[in-house]
């Protein structure tokens, strides 16, 4: 991303260039300006969507607890967590996302508008189809 600049145009007007990203997060449009004139913008919104990251981390932790035998299946997990069985199943399905989609979400590089609600909708097992469906 470029650095902010000031310039005076031919009409004598001051032109200010401020590089920024426009991204939808939690249903709101966000302006993300990572750099200020004097360095990094310490007050910029983080690009990583915590709900998406938490869901993926939980999915992998829950999957590991089932695969290792610590928990005897999805029903036992949902009972232990006091969560609806269908919700636990939808979260666990996130472990079947294409690896590049998972990494993009963890790094905050997901497409604009991708939310947890959209991520938890049914998605295909085929990774190419997942990429198309989610805008990657």
The pLDDT confidence band at residue 6, using thresholds 50, 70 and 90, is confident
**Whose CA is closest to 18, among 48, 44, 55?**
44
Does 116 lie in the same domain as 67?
Answer: yes
Structure confidence at residue 38 (pLDDT)? 63
- pLDDT category of residue 133 using cuts at 50, 70 and 90: very high
**Are residues 65 and 123 part of one domain?**
yes
Give the Cα-Cα-Cα angle 34, 56, 76 (nearest 5 degrees).
155
Q: How many domains does the chain have?
A: 2
61 and 36 together in one domain: no
Between 27 and 96, name the one with better pLDDT: 96
Residues 70 and 116 in one domain: yes
Split at pLDDT 50, 70, 90, the class of 7 is confident
Tell me the residue range of the domain where 75 lies.
50-134
pLDDT in tens, 120-131: 999 999 999 999
pTM, two decimals, is: 0.66
Do both 24 and 64 map to the same domain? Answer: no
Are residues 23 and 78 located together in one domain of the fold? Answer: no
> Are residue 85 and residue 27 in the same domain, yes or no?
no
Is 31 in the same domain as 68? no
Q: Is 87 found in the same domain as 20?
A: no
Q: How far apart are CA 87 and CA 95, in angstroms?
A: 14
Nearest to 88 by CA among 115, 124, 61, 118: 61
55 and 85: one domain?
A: yes
- CA distance linking residue 91 with residue 78, whole number of Å: 11
Q: 62 and 108: one domain?
A: yes
The pLDDT tens digits of the residues spanning 30-72 come to 776 666 656 666 555 556 788 899 999 999 999 999 999 999 9
Q: How far apart are CA 60 and CA 53, in angstroms?
A: 11
Q: How many CB atoms lie within 10 A of CB 16?
A: 9
Predicted local distance difference test score (pLDDT) of residue 32: 67
Terminal Cα-to-Cα distance of the chain (whole angstroms): 20
Asked whether residue 34 falls in the same domain as residue 55, the answer is no
Structure tokens at 34: 């990572």
Note whether 101 and 130 are within 8 A (CB): yes
**26 domain-assigned:** yes
Q: What is the pLDDT of residues 66-119, one digit of tens each?
A: 999 999 999 999 999 999 999 999 999 999 999 999 999 998 888 878 889 999
- Please identify which residue in the block is written with the tokens 């189809």: 129
In a domain, 45, yes or no: no
Instruction: Check residue 43 and give its pLDDT.
Output: 58
Of 53, 4, 15, 25, nearest to 112 (Cα)? 25
**Residue 73 belongs to some domain of the structure:** yes
């Amino acid at each position: 991303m470029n650095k902010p600049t000031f310039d005076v145009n031919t009409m004598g007007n001051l032109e200010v260039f401020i590089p920024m990203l426009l991204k939808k997060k939690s249903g709101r449009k966000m302006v993300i300006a990572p750099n200020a004139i004097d360095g990094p913008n310490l007050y910029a919104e983080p690009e990583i969507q915590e709900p998406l990251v938490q869901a993926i981390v939980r999915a992998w932790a829950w999957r590991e607890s089932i695969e290792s035998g610590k928990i005897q299946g999805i029903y036992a997990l949902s009972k232990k967590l006091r969560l609806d069985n269908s919700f636990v199943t939808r979260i666990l399905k996130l472990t079947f996302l294409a690896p590049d989609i998972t990494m993009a979400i963890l790094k905050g590089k997901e497409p604009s508008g991708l939310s947890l609600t959209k991520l938890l909708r049914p998605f295909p097992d085929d990774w190419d189809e997942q990429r198309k469906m989610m805008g990657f």
